[in-house]
Amino acid sequence: MSKDINPKEAIVKTAYADVNKFGQNGEFDKSMKAVNRILAVAPDDHTALHCKIICLIQLTKFEEALKFIEKNRLVTLIFEKAYCEYRLNKPNLALKTIDDANLPVLPPNLKELRTQVLYRLERYDECFESYKDIIKHTNDYYEDERRTNFKAVAANLALDTNNVIPEIPEDTYEQYFNGSFILSIRQRYSEAEKKLRVSEKLCRESLEEDGASEEEIREEMDIIKVQTAYCMQMQGKTKEAAAIYADVLRNKPKDPALIAVASNNLVVINKDQHVFDSKKKIRAAMADACEHKLTARQKKAVALNNCLLALFTNASDQIHQISTKLAEQYPDMCFQSLLIRAVQFTKDKKHKEAVELLQKHAASTANKEEAFASKFAIVQFLLVQGARKEAIDVLLSLGEAKYKPGIVSALVTLYLGMNNKPAASELLRTAVDWYKKNNVSSGDLSDMWRQAAEFHLRGGATETAASSLEELLKLKPNDVRVLAQLVIAYAQCNPQKALEVSKKLPKLETLTTASEIDALEAANWVMSTKAAKKSANAKIDQSPGTPVVEKKKCHKRKRKGKLPKNYNAEIPPDPERWLPKYERTGFRKKRDRRAKDIIKGSQGMSSQAAEQYDMSNRANLNKSSPATPAYQEPTPGPRQQHRKGGQKKRKGGRF
């Protein structure tokens, strides 16, 4: 007789078969129900416990999986526990879990997870070395993904210009995408944009081969488009970049980091325009969902832009509150926060508070660069108030830094603005002596020496001007103009030295040609500049080897007058042909014929009076009439007569 099968074993065996079947089909919810059947009859089954954790991880129930591990004290499941902590945005706990295991050699899966945790913690140096080791000793299906991540680590290391980034081959669109980051960080935006165009093309081709839908392709390509827009923005193509950002945000992407980057960059483009839209965008960039998706550098940039946007809105209380929070959250942004507050004080006409705030920071900070910048900001605020003397005092308090060319130039300008030329001259003299004494040659000082020399030459301090020109000659030994100025300066204070230096000047024959000398001799100095140039050019053109060409005189061609078609030379022309029609004799006869029987006079005038004053009737002159003036003006010619009537005859109508 066969023995009866243990029902407990039968349940476990059947349940494991279901776990395997559902797990291979990706139905992890059904697989977990099968595991629960096993744990119901065998609660201490380690394999079943492990299977349940895997099912919970596959169902993205990381919190529940972590609690289950801790409840059942599954110490050996280091990878699963660290992975749950990593996915719950607890990278420090995940790294501690891996390191506390004290394993002599980390298995490949745990080593790769640790590398990812280091990337999340932004410990890029360690992450870079770890990936190098993994790629060297591993060769499997995930090699392209590892190289993509390796390229991403290299891009972040490129932020430090001292790091040497090795060349990594690029085959996939992700690798091209990460490679563009390295170029953009090095400010080679045009090359980065070209690489992103290649990445975009490869992305579409690759996803279409995998059978991805159009929506999935668009979501993947949106990331590449945003990076392309950033490169265009940095090249000054702000309109095109803004259009791409707006188009991506219109598609409502699921990635919060993508939304944050596009929104923040749009705020930067808007500046003080479209403030209400920028407020919405900055809120989207600072959402809680972006907290664990952005790097510390990105979050810092968003927070700073939020402060600057508040400055544009001129919300005084809000600006002080946000800037104080920025300094607390990011201590390295303390100085930027301070400057924003000082600017707002000046906007509120509180210049004294702004200056005091910066003076306090300059006195307390150990960072020399920040203290230096603070004093420059103080000078700017003082000049806005018109306090030039106080601004000069701040610049003079910079110690030896006041001898920098830019500061010397600013001080000279301020002194001249206050009509204090002796102080400006003394400052330049002191600066020249300081540079000669300390033998400082950092940067290009030629402009400062030249300005100092010209200033002292105009002021009559020829010895100081000569010292400046000597220093300038050391920087530019072949400059003939400087040498000539030095000769002029020495000629006024040391003629012997002027004679020695003048010997270094090139000979006149090397500076001018024979033709130029002839032109100068031929030119008449009394003539105007244009005439002198004209005569000089004529002299130069008439060289012995050039044949003389006589210029032909331009004669204007006289055109023959045009005659009418019906012109007859035998008939003399009408003498009145140039007179207006109404002034011709024939026109007057028509008027006389029409007005033969009717005499028009002034309104209300009788016909008898009209006859009396009708000058055309010569008989009236003998009759008694009012006294006429002794002098009568001569009748004007036909050209000076005014036209009578004033109205033109309309078509088919009357006058």
Q: What share of the chain is helix, strand, coil (3-state, %, to 5)?
A: 65, 0, 35
Rounded-to-integer distance, Cα 435 and Cα 595, Å:
109
The whole-number pLDDT of residue 552 equals 55
The whole-number pLDDT of residue 118 equals 93
Note whether 403 and 395 are within 8 A (CB).
Answer: no
The whole-number pLDDT of residue 127 equals 92
Q: Record the tokens describing residue 278, joined without a space.
A: 């920028």
The whole-number pLDDT of residue 97 equals 92
What parts of the chain have a pLDDT lower than 50? 1-2, 443, 539-547, 590-601, 604-607, 609-610, 618-655
The SS3 of residue 482 is: helix
Q: Record the tokens describing residue 144, joined without a space.
A: 């392209």
The whole-number pLDDT of residue 642 equals 45
Look at residues 305, 297, 298, 254 and name the one whose alpha carbon lies nearest to residue 279. Answer: 305
Rounded-to-integer distance, Cα 531 and Cα 521, Å:
14
Count CB neighbours of 427 within 10 A.
Answer: 23
Rounded-to-integer distance, Cα 214 and Cα 196, Å:
20
The whole-number pLDDT of residue 499 equals 66
The whole-number pLDDT of residue 595 equals 46
The whole-number pLDDT of residue 635 equals 47
Q: Record the tokens describing residue 428, joined without a space.
A: 């330049």
| Contact partners, residue 260, CB within 8 Å, separation at least 6 | 284, 285, 286, 287, 290, 293, 294, 298, 302
DSSP-derived letter for residue 583 is G
The burial of 423, by beta-carbon neighbours within 10 Å (0-12 exposed, 13-18 middle, 19 or more buried), is given as: middle
The whole-number pLDDT of residue 110 equals 92
Rounded-to-integer distance, Cα 172 and Cα 148, Å:
8
